[in-house]
Amino acid sequence: MNNTWLIRGGTVCTPDGMQQADLLVDNGCITAVGEGLTAPGAQEVDATGLLVMPGFIDIHTHGAVGVDMNGADKEGLAKVSAFFASQGVTGFLPTLLTDSHEALLQYVHTIGMAAPEITDGAAVLGIHMEGPYLCAEYKGAMPEHLLQTPDFSKFMQYQKASGGRIRRMTVSPEVEGVAHFIPKAVAEGVSVSIGHSGADYDTAWEAIRSGAACATHTFNAMKLLHQHFPAISGAVLESDIYAEAICDGIHLHPGTVRILLKAKGLDRVIAITDSIMAAGLGDGRFKLGVNDVIVKNGDAILADGGSRAGSTLTMSRAFANLRRFTGLPAFELAKLLSANPADLLGLGGRKGRILPGYDADLTLITDEGAVSATFVEGRQVYSAG
């Protein structure tokens, strides 16, 4: 099968800026970016009028198109993967809501075994466990009776069951034992994020110094900054850790997104969806793990009214929203959508940027966020045509 592609005439988003150029892809990698490229026998794509961006990477998603990651089977993961490809996503981390120990063991095993076989859409890059080592006060949609204190031997059971595919874990800094758990998890190659937390400033900084590398859905399910008590939010803003942001205009006001970018810089914010199974569908009743959720006007709320429960956002809409919120050019927003998540996952040497030698993970998209085509390691996994 011919696996050489020549993508002609697009506006290519390189790390250094935007340029009208052709893009040559061979054997799954980007081999050249420039004007007037030729490749006899290559499959050609006309990208005139389109942005050619590094593929979007969603490191925090609970599902879409009727599939909940808690309990998803291989077919469900493949369905989500195909939908995400239509939204410009080339890689994602299925995110598991806190559940029972037995259920989580089954979920990570199922995803871990299925991940290598998902090849017709966005790639499953690993697993994100959101909990169960979280505090009750800021639990959000987490089922309180299933929250636990860290048990590293249990965590290693999860990691073994997953085939070593757990790449991220969200913990609350104030939960007893978390500060000792973090460096152990980091030593196992897991990126630890802090969130669902009312931690004070010093406790949050202890977690950061212990190796936490990111904040989960910043300012949501998190104690906010006070001038006398900066709390976890203040530590996140002051430190150099990454900060997730749900850019749907519901979880964060556009002005708050701009403030976060001003404080952290473009190299330290990661756009996520935190999407649930309702993404790609309309309003109605859905599940998020063990929870019942009602979606009205695109806003997901626990059926008991107690908390917001993820989002219905897609990464293509996040891109369009960020264009509208900030007015920044696409090549700068690509950091939030592609380069930064790749770097957090330790994949920044081959994913998240359009450069020769990098994986050909590409999204062809309009300025307004309509995806025309998506490539994963040189395979076209979506075409609007």
Catalytic residues: 274
Crossing angle of helices 74-86/101-114, nearest 10°? 60
How far from each other are the two terminal CA atoms of the chain, in whole angstroms? 21
* Consecutive H or E run containing 238: helix 231-238
Residues contacting 160, CB < 8 A, separation 6+: none
Amino acid 163 reads G
DSSP code of residue 145: G
3-state secondary structure of 178: helix
3-state secondary structure of 335: helix
Return d(Cα 58, Cα 337) in angstroms, integer. 8
Classify strands 29-34 and 166-171 as parallel, antiparallel or unpaired: unpaired
Return d(Cα 310, Cα 92) in angstroms, integer. 16
Residues contacting 220, CB < 8 A, separation 6+: 140, 246, 251, 252, 308
Q: Are 31 and 38 in contact (CB under 8 A)?
A: no
Phi, psi angle pair for 106, to nearest 5°? -70, -40
Return d(Cα 167, Cα 93) in angstroms, integer. 8
Number of CB atoms found within 10 A of residue 83's CB: 22
Phi, psi angle pair for 382, to nearest 5°? -155, 140
| Alpha carbon 192 to its chain's center | 14
* Consecutive H or E run containing 73: none
Q: Are 140 and 221 in contact (CB under 8 A)?
A: yes
- Report CA-CA distances (Å) from 47 to 190, 201, 291: 38, 48, 43
Return d(Cα 351, Cα 360) in angstroms, integer. 8
